[in-house]
């Protein structure tokens, strides 16, 4: 008989936890919907704002609820660092005063064309 009572107690606890789970899922859905609508209203506000007012805020971190930095589209990137090996065609763009693209090209050559890496490394004096 005691096993029956223990089983009933466990079933009651499972039922309570299931109700709590449903309640928390509803709260989460509501929170996500509120956050989405807030983000959409912020985006609409950003579209109406002057770009000079947003330059410093756009570069801030999104995790603290700040605006995202405007990224350039693929077509807007000047790709001056091009892989010169046959049938590769990989290219990398750059920012002003930024050598990351050249480093990215070097990393590409090192990984994808390892047989040529030593000669490229020697020619660049690295």
- Chain segment 48-57, per-residue pLDDT in tens: 544 444 444 4
- Assess contact for 108 and 90: CB atoms under 8 A: yes
- Assess contact for 83 and 92: CB atoms under 8 A: no
- Note whether residue 69 is domain-resident: no
- What radius of gyration do the chain's Cα atoms show? 28
Of 18-27, 68-77, 107-116, the range with the lowest mean pLDDT is 68-77
Asked whether the predicted pLDDT for residue 40 surpasses 80, the reply is no
- Note whether residue 24 is domain-resident: yes
Question: Same domain, yes or no, for 110 and 58?
Answer: no
Question: pTM for the whole thing?
Answer: 0.38
Most confident of 19-28, 37-46, 57-66, 67-76: 19-28
Crossing angle of helices 100-112 and 114-124, in 10° steps, is 140
Burial level of 109, CB count in 10 A (0-12/13-18/19+)?
buried
- Which has the higher per-residue pLDDT, 18 or 75? 18
For residue 15, the enclosing domain spans 2-64
């Amino acid at each position: 008989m005691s096993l029956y009572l223990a089983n009933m107690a466990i079933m009651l606890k499972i039922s309570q936890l299931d109700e709590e789970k449903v309640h928390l899922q509803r709260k989460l859905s509501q929170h996500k919907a509120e956050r989405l609508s807030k983000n959409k209203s912020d985006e609409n506000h950003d579209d109406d704002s002057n770009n000079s007012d947003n330059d410093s805020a756009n570069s801030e971190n999104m995790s603290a609820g700040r605006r995202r930095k405007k990224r350039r589209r693929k077509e807007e990137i000047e790709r001056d660092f091009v892989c010169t090996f046959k049938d590769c065609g990989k290219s990398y763009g750059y920012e002003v005063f930024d050598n990351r693209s050249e480093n990215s090209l070097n990393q590409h050559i090192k990984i994808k064309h390892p047989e040529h890496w030593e000669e490229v490394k020697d020619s660049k004096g690295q």
